[in-house]
Amino acid sequence: MVLYGIALLGVGWCSLPAASADQSVERVALMVAGDDCAVYRESIRAVLASVPEVRRIEFDSIPDHILIDVETDRVTPEDLEATVSRRLGDMRTCRTEVMKSCISARQPRSSP
């Protein structure tokens, strides 16, 4: 499984497991930024849920990020970014971005 990072400012990916054990699922991470993003949370969730390839949407695992599990090779991070951008329209108070680096909800280990 692969984790794609999404923020509406750029694109990248890294290898991290999706929440599912299914090998045909990839995780996409969308960063959200702006004062009004909380107001649009349900609207963003609804538009992502309308994408047939989306299997899971997590808003609460990592602050200011949306983690999205999608079917492998069926939808790209750019597709999801464009879908959310269309929903948000020209609004400048909330934006998303494809992450350029890996993120994980796991806590780092402390050094001995």
- What are the pLDDT digits (tens) for 78-98? 899 999 988 888 766 888 888
Within-domain flag for 106: no
Within-domain flag for 110: no
C-alpha–C-alpha distance, residues 60 and 44, integer Å = 14
Domain count of the chain? 1
CA distances from residue 55 to 9, 43, 90, 94, 100 in whole angstroms, order as listed: 24, 17, 27, 24, 22
Range of the domain at 29: 3-98
3-state class of 82 per DSSP? Answer: helix
Within-domain flag for 104: no
| CATH at 37 | 3.30.70.100
Whether the CB-CB separation of 82 and 27 falls below 8 Å is answered with no
Within-domain flag for 17: yes
Instruction: Outline where the chain has alpha helix (H).
Output: 41-49, 77-88
Single pTM value for the model? 0.70
Query: What pLDDT, on the 0 to 100 scale, is given for residue 39?
Result: 87
Within-domain flag for 24: yes
- What are the pLDDT digits (tens) for 3-41? 444 433 333 344 345 554 556 888 899 998 888 888 889
Query: What pLDDT, on the 0 to 100 scale, is given for residue 22?
Result: 59
The answer to whether residue 103 scores a pLDDT higher than 60 is no
